[in-house]
Amino acid sequence: MSDDLVAFYEAGYSVADPAEAARYGAWRAHGARLKAGHAAQLCDRVGLQARSLVEIGCGDGALLAELGARGLARELDGFELSAPAAELARRRTIPGARRIEAYDGACVPAADAAYDLAVVSHVLEHVPDPPALLAEAARVARWVLVEVPLEANRSAARPAKRAQAREIGHIQAFDRAAMRGLLAGAGLELRAELTDPLPCSHHAFFADGTAARAKAAAKWGLRTVLWRAAPRRAERLFTVHWAGLAMRG
């Protein structure tokens, strides 16, 4: 990983203003609950009961804590590019947590097949070489669970939306076909997948004032109706979240 990328994420987890830090912490916790729900659904679908789990790109540990609380695995490790984020994660009470460490963002410090399940949630859109990261996940775990926003769509292609994505570090834009191709290229067989337009609480989280909340609710309602009627077409029109669970061949 480049020094610029490391600095970007270290800054993101080192917000000086306490109120702002609390707000973004609450945002990450909210997202973690949604992501953990997706992970649990996919594991249930294939009957996966993991003994050990690693989250690659664990951030401040919000998702790792949710996965531990849900009992998705008895033993949990987490590796994160940002040292400040890894320190925040270590301060959490995470059921089953063992190693939570900063790493170089390229080589996961674990042996081949060290885990039953590797979780790579909302990470691939941030990295310059997604195939290499997926290959690392497949090296250290038999099962790999990936989640990304599908941003290769008409709405997200608008210049203002692309600028917003870059501001939060999104340097890749995927669609469903791209994700399937990435998994196959890493020697992984997709066994279960889901998409989610996300609940109203997600769209309204940063809405300040009645008008902004009403606009967010209308956006959520329209997107949910379109997604339920024609999910594949919806993916081409606006961003939904995609999660997939794959097994090493």
pLDDT tens track, the chain, 249 positions: 556 666 766 666 776 678 888 888 899 999 999 999 999 999 999 999 999 999 999 999 999 999 999 999 999 999 999 999 999 999 999 999 999 999 999 999 999 999 999 999 999 999 999 999 999 999 999 999 999 999 999 999 999 999 999 999 999 999 999 999 999 999 999 999 999 999 999 999 999 999 999 999 999 999 999 999 999 999 999 999 999 999 998
- Residue for token pair 């990983």: 1
Tokens standing for residue 236 = 């081409």
Helix (H) / strand (E) element for 142: namely strand 141-149
Closest CA to 220 of 208, 205, 203: 203
- Parallel, antiparallel, or unpaired for β 188-196 and 241-248? antiparallel
**Cβ 200 vs Cβ 217: under 8 Å:** yes
Find the Cα–Cα–Cα–Cα dihedral 38, 187, 79, 148, rounded to 10°.
-40
Q: Answer yes or no: CATH 3.40.50.150 is held by domain 3-248.
A: yes
Alpha-carbon gap, residue 230 to 98, rounded angstroms: 43
Q: List all residues 6 or more positions away from 194 whose beta carbon is below 8 Å from its beta carbon.
A: 38, 41, 42, 242, 243, 244
The full set of domain ranges for the chain reads 3-248
Which phi and psi angles does 32 have, rounded to 5°? -60, -40
Count Cα neighbours of 238 within 13 Å in the Cβ-side half-sphere. Answer: 13
Alpha-carbon gap, residue 214 to 33, rounded angstroms: 23
Helix (H) / strand (E) element for 183: namely helix 176-185
Count Cα neighbours of 133 within 13 Å in the Cβ-side half-sphere. Answer: 25
